[in-house]
Amino acid sequence: MSQWQLTKPVAFFVFNRPDTTALVFEAIRQAAPPRLLVVADGPRPDHPGEAERCAAVRAIVAGVDWPCDVSFNFSDINLGCRRRVSTGLDWVFESVEEAIILEDDCLPDQSFFPFCAELLTKYRDDSRIAMISGNNFQQGQGGREESYYFSRYPEIWGWATWRRVWELYDADMKLWPEFRSGGWLESTFRTKRLARFWREAFDTVHSGGLDTWDYQFSFCCLKDNALCVIPSVNLVSNLGFGADATHTKIACRLSKLPIEPMPFPLRHPRHITRDISADRATEKEQHNPLDLRQKLTLVMRQVSDWAAGVMSWRRGNGRRSDVT
């Protein structure tokens, strides 16, 4: 791969983490994409020091020193995870037909870029394939000879997709009530536990109870029976677990997973079919209704604390205004 040159665009989503942003930006710099599209959310007014951290992040991503067509989409206000990522990807796919997508806490191995690039080309016109992931959470299970397998579940800590797929995405999940009442859950998922997990997740996102964009993408893939490419080794490590994270505040098994290089040339699966056994391992490990409830409880507690902080700030400003 020493002579290989990346020809695909990279979309980079950043916010308020200069430390992890610098690490991921360096990985992008080494890959030297010819087109870089940077999306940034704005600071939250009730978070002291965040404006300065956001400014530091934007200074980092402005430091492109390789031949590159760079575009920036910076929000002056805080849109939150759901609207910033979804509107950012709308903007990305208005400009390009396909893209490799990274967030500011997802550190890739360099082989992630040629892996995504080759498969973006291979499956560009195959409507069965929705995305290419850089994540493998199976921890070496399966003894796989092929370089990747197909799953029903999109893993989005470093991924790639096409405009044709993103055009099907809906951040508000307007179709969910129809699918919920039509028996789709029961026909799609093999156990009541799994159906309950996704019902609770989709209900919460649809009602606005969770500020995220990724469950909507899962719904987009699942409702159309789309397939997602999962690499045989983990190509991207999520560094973002911690107290300053938006959602991943509590470290878990998936935090900072080791990354491995993907061997080339790629060995493609002989058949484009879902690996049911791998998906069942994913379901057992990641799709637990109790874990989801704990996550939602934590998020709602954070929302409550944020609202209390805003009200306190407003009352304080009001008192100062009355004195003035």
pLDDT at 254: 75
Question: Does residue 184 share a domain with residue 57?
Answer: no
Give 228's Cβ-side CA count (13 Å radius).
Answer: 25
* Nearest-5° Cα angle at 216, 206 to 182: 65
The reply to whether 266 falls in a domain is: yes
308-322 pLDDT tens trace: 554 554 555 544 333
- The pLDDT > 90 percentage for the chain reads 78
Crossing angle of helices 18-31 and 50-61, in 10° steps, is 10
Which whole number is the average pLDDT over 232-241?
Answer: 91
**Would you say residue 65 lies in a domain?**
yes
State the average pLDDT over residues 232-254. 70
**Tokens encoding 317:** 């400003």
**170-214: pLDDT as tens digits:** 999 999 999 999 999 999 998 999 999 999 999 999 999 999 999
Within a domain: residue 135? Answer: yes
The span from the CA of 194 to the CA of 318, in Å, is 49
Contacts of 225 (CB under 8 A, 6+ apart): 152
5 pLDDT more than 70: yes
Q: Are 92 and 154 members of one domain? A: yes
Residue 322 and residue 249 in one domain: no
pLDDT for residue 321 = 34
Answer yes or no: is 227 within a domain: yes
Domain count, the chain: 2
What's the farthest any 2 CA atoms get from each other in the chain?
A: 75
- Whether residues 81 and 165 fall in one domain: yes
Domain with 254 in it: what CATH number?
3.90.550.10
The residue segments making up the domain with residue 52 are 10-171+213-287
Q: Is 4 contained in some domain? A: no
Same domain, 203 and 123: no
Residue at 3 is within a domain: no
Q: Which pLDDT does position 287 carry in this prediction?
A: 82
Calpha distance 156→258 (Å, rounded): 16
pLDDT at res. 255: 75
Helix (H) or strand (E) holding 131: strand 129-133
247 band by pLDDT with thresholds 50, 70 and 90: very low
Instruction: Indicate if 88 and 208 belong to the same structural domain.
Output: no
pLDDT value for 140: 61
The stretch 26-48 carries a mean pLDDT of: 97
Shared domain check, 307 and 159: no
Do 49 and 176 share a structural domain?
no
- pLDDT tens digits along 150-176: 999 999 999 999 999 999 999 999 999
Same domain, 142 and 205: no
Residue 190 to residues 106, 153, 184, 186, 194: CA-CA distances in angstroms? 32, 14, 11, 7, 7
260 plus 323 within the same structural domain: no
Mean pLDDT of 109-133: 98
In angstroms, the CA 125 to CA 127 distance is 6
Give the CA dihedral 214, 218, 220, 225, nearest 10 degrees: 160
Residues 183 and 158 in one domain: no
As a whole number of angstroms, the distance between CA 44 and CA 54 comes to 10
Asked if 235 contacts 157 with a C-beta cutoff of 8 angstroms, the reply is no
pLDDT of residue 240: 83
Residues 200 and 280 in one domain: no
On whether residue 2 sits in a domain, the answer given is no
pLDDT, position 222: 98
Ranges 41-55, 56-70, 297-311: which has the least confidence? 297-311
Flag whether 5 is in a domain: no
